[in-house]
Copies of this chain bind each other. A is one copy, B any other.
Amino acid sequence: MNFASDNWAGVHPAISERLLEVSSGFSAPYGASDFDKKIELRFNEIFEREVAVYFVSTGTAANSLALAAVNRPGGVSFCHREAHILEDECGAPEFFTHGARLSPVDGDNGKIDPNHLKAEIARFPPNFVHAGQPMAISITQATEIGTLYKSHEIEQIANIAKSYHLPLHMDGARFANALVALNLTPAEMTWKRGVDIVSFGATKNGCWCAEALVFMNPEVAKDLPYIRKRAAQLFSKSRFIAAQFDAYFKDDLWLTMARHANTMAQYLQQSIVNSKHARLAWETEANEVFAIIDKSNLNQLEEQGAIFYQWNTPRANAGLVAQHEVLIRLVTSFATEAVSVDRFISLLE
């Protein structure tokens, strides 16, 4: 009954086995081997265009280097008030951009509100050096509270980005879960909507450590090789990332895993809706279920081995959770079993 996070799950056997297969022989390091190059080209197919791809070690690295690539002195990037880059990366984005700021934007359902976004950007008039200068907009797909930007919502944000000549970054730590939930292609969820840079996460979806930074316009990434090396993110035996992506993409394993996680989340959601001892905080859109339970149930759940996190009520949902209640987050993954969901629910009852 582990619903703590998808990064508590291990790794799909197909991925570890692929690692085992490629572990012998000699291979050019630092991403220079034919194997690395071949896997990089897979991203062109996945995104249906020529993209620039850089493997890095963590999602935090991907997000930070995305912003570093478009960095400006006195730069300000706009993201949702509860975005991962703002609340959960220990200031890495600011560090890698030498102090560029993340400016929080409000919005319901974990998503940037376009009107708030416009109002915040407007606080930075051109050539007013005191305020600094806008440099990027970042959205998270799926969001920190498991919701999704629909196609037209991405486009709305992208249009604002375009009108200010700002690049649009997508933190895709749960890219695959969003993709299958929305039934979109990678192209449809990104550049066809106006997304310029994607942190393409695979670690949470069944890999060991496989994150790729994807630039729709390779020109934007022209200094990335230096930025990445200087950031200590250039792996010598980089085939170990390439091999993970190789297995990840093979036979659409990544989509299969994400679909399973989402299905389990839907099943969990339905069980909660049916339960007398829990209620849904908001609708589940990808692989994260947010539920409200009575505080008095917490101990018992945990004693019986249920693992999950309590969650801060989003500022936009003030009042949702009563004094005697608690908001909990339940995350599913490729490794979640229906029987665990059943057991969790039975414990609640």
Closest Cβ–Cβ distance, residue A97 to chain B (whole Å): 7
- Does A328 sit at the interface, judged by CB under 8 A? no
Q: Given A23-B13, A226-B133, A240-B208, verify A232-B8 contact (CB < 8 Å).
A: no
Q: Given A60-B232, A74-B226, A232-B96, verify A90-B131 contact (CB < 8 Å).
A: yes
Please, which residue of chain B has its CB at the minimum distance from the CB of A27?
B8
| Main SS class of interface, A | loop
A226 lies within 8 A of B72 (CB): yes
- Does A223 sit at the interface, judged by CB under 8 A? yes
Tell me, in angstroms, the Cα distance from A232 to B97 when the chains sit together: 13
- Does A348 sit at the interface, judged by CB under 8 A? no
Tell me, in angstroms, the Cα distance from A335 to B129 when the chains sit together: 27
| Protomer copies | 4
A:284-314 near B, CB below 8 Å? 307, 312
Tell me, in angstroms, the Cα distance from A232 to B235 when the chains sit together: 14
Q: How many residues of A contact B (CB 8 A)?
A: 82
Given pairs A90-B226, A96-B232, 13 additional interface contacts (CB within 8 A): A10-B237, A11-B237, A19-B208, A57-B57, A57-B233, A68-B73, A73-B223, A89-B229, A91-B230, A95-B230, A95-B231, A101-B101, A208-B237
A58 touches which of B131, B226, B233 (Cβ 8 Å): B233
